[in-house]
Chain A
């Protein structure tokens, strides 16, 4: 299992270091456990193309059978994008990243593209309802949270 995970991540890394879609770039992949990617949204007035957003991927040993944990990171020059499905602590409410919606066919690149398109199709610069309450009280890992996926438009 662990062998399969590292083998696949190595292959993905080689591919990512080669070519990536526009707006997506690899920041750091020090090991096969945690990677950081930068994405920028190219065609949405809510997100200027110059602004980049930092994503952190955390892989478990059973990747790709299990979904990686993907959150936005706040850094000195990186903000967490305003989106009705992204909490201000960086947790993303996206069915793709949940155990129900995850498929082992996905990879880092496809997840980045999904999040990029989720941002690109957004029209409301706002946080999810109850954002402050959630950010203050949440101690769970993102994968343990029972999100209710009610919005099929994204």
Chain B
């Protein structure tokens, strides 16, 4: 062996020149040996490659991947000592680690080691952490393998419907050869799809059909699987109560109906911690106090909620009323502050509540209450009248209502009497919130039930009337002022216009006067040469001479009227240009007219 090795080595390496020149006869036999070995090697490699190719092809053609024996469900019981500590399954292809003799599945230990060390299958023993490796004789004895392979398992296609249970060692054969639920190629070679082995003889099943209940489209080959595993209308067994239910109803069944589900007692919100099966719930409810109390308490809670909401509503109403009440108080106090010597009434009305609380100052309260009930009149009259004489005060104040003279006494006395008894008496002598919107149309309507109504004192009625009258007076005076202003404005405007017109007329008349003056002077000049004749004419016929003179004047006036239109324009210009000149014009005009009159 060593001999051939050395020669083989020499033949492979570049030979020395001497050896080439004289090849020995023994060298030929060695070279044939080498050739033979090489051929053998080549053949072995070919075989290996052929096998490899065949297995690859078989793997590709086989539609069922090799079974992972660690994922099987075991039917038969097995000893705990036959379990791999890594996958917790009965050992598959068990191996013993060198040095520590711990046993694992070959695949498990390989995975463990390759995950952590990329260097290859070596590392520490997972159990004892000793450095370990797989020796050449790692496989365990045949006895152990046989025991493990005799364990009965369910077919890996049991989920698809295969019911067979076989020995673990035969599972791979069962899948590749026998199992009706393993996939094989379709009988129709042109189809190229796969079909379950038991359906192989039915021909090509790869045409579309639709499920009868859920109307879903699928190939005929998948219909059975669909009906068994996927269709929502299929019937399944409830795993708790083992009754048949529709798959689509199972959630509802679990929640509502399943008698095997544990449900809490109906009295759980009240603290009952009992949980019993729905079927046995009635028995518990019969004895459970909390469950019986449940509906009663629920009704009570509902009623309480209603009451609470009503209470809230009332509270809000009260708040609104109180704000109205305080507004009313403010109005009243403002009203009271009007009369000059009325300090006592002010202190009475505003802090009315504090007054009600302090029961100690009863006497002062009575006195002040008297003051309040009969308010002091204005000083000019009140100075003459004592505050302790209520009837006179009242008559002086309001003589219109004779009834009120009697009522204040009777009305103010009741709140004084119950005050010490009740701890928080609402001050009854104060105006109620309802009087804020007092009805002016029927002002005495409140006095009618006023005998029993604590708030409807005629005094307050009068006060409010007084207040409203004052408001109205203020409104009327404001309106009057406004009207006055408007009127004066209007008058001023009209005045201005008239004044302008007068100025314009004055200008016109002045122009006319000037013309007349000119005309008369011209006439006089014309008459002066014939003065004697005129004098003569005076004697002969005054009327004729007057008529002739009048005729000439008339002609002049006619001429003047024609010129007047031209003059008007000029006058207008004058008017516009010198507006301030207008005040002087009346005097001037008067002077001109007088002159003209004298001239005429």
Contacts and interface: CB of A to CB of B under 8 A. Distances in A.
Interface of A: 1, 3-4, 7-8, 11-12, 62, 64-66, 99, 103-105, 107
27 contacts: A1-B111, A3-B68, A3-B71, A4-B68, A4-B71, A4-B87, A7-B88, A7-B89, A8-B87, A8-B88, A8-B89, A62-B115, A64-B86, A64-B87, A65-B111, A65-B112, A65-B115, A99-B116, A103-B126, A103-B127, A103-B129, A104-B85, A104-B86, A104-B126, A105-B86, A105-B126, A107-B88
Contact of B71 (A7, A65, A105): A7
A66 B116 CA distance: 9
B254 to A, nearest CB: 16
B156 to A, nearest CB: 10
Given A7-B87, A99-B116, 15 more contacts: A3-B71, A4-B68, A7-B71, A11-B88, A62-B115, A65-B86, A65-B111, A65-B112, A103-B127, A103-B129, A104-B85, A105-B85, A105-B86, A105-B126, A105-B127
A3 B156 CA distance: 12
B267 to A, nearest CB: 24
B369 to A, nearest CB: 64
Contacts of B174: none
Contacts of B86: 64-65, 104-105
Interface in B91-122: 108, 111-112, 115-116
B115 to A, nearest CB: 5
Interface centre among A7, A11, A66, A105 (most CB of B within 10 A): A105
Nearest to A62: B115
B343 to A, nearest CB: 66
Contacts of A65: 86, 111-112, 115
- Which secondary structure dominates where chain A touches chain B? loop
Shortest beta-carbon contacts, A-B, top 4: A103-B126, A104-B86, A105-B85, A3-B71
Contact of B70 (A7, A66, A103, A107): A7
Contacts, number: 40
Most B C-beta atoms less than 10 A away, residue of A8, A62, A107: A8
B86 to A, nearest CB: 4
Greatest chain A CB density within 10 A among B108, B126, B127 is at B126
A12 B88 contact: yes
A64 B87 CA distance: 8
Nearest to B86: A104
Contacts of B108: 104
Nearest to A9: B88
B70 to A, nearest CB: 6
Most buried by B among A66, A99, A103: A103
A30 B422 CA distance: 68
Nearest to A106: B126
A3 B159 CA distance: 15
Nearest to A103: B126
B154 to A, nearest CB: 13
Nearest to B102: A105
A65 B113 CA distance: 9
A4 B70 contact: yes
Contacts of A107: 88
Query: Which of A1, A7, A104 has the most chain B CB within a 10 Å cutoff?
Result: A104
Contacts of A3: 68, 70-71
Contacts of B129: 103
A107 B126 CA distance: 12
B115 A66 contact: yes
Contacts of B85: 104-105
A107 B127 CA distance: 12
Contacts of A99: 116
B24 to A, nearest CB: 61
A69 B86 CA distance: 18
Contacts of A66: 115
Contacts of A105: 85-86, 126-127
A11 B89 CA distance: 9
B85 to A, nearest CB: 4
A105 B111 CA distance: 13
Nearest to B72: A7
Contacts of A104: 85-86, 108, 112, 126
A35 B387 CA distance: 92
A109 to B, nearest CB: 12
A7, A11, A99: most-surrounded residue (chain B CB, <10 A): A7
B442 to A, nearest CB: 69
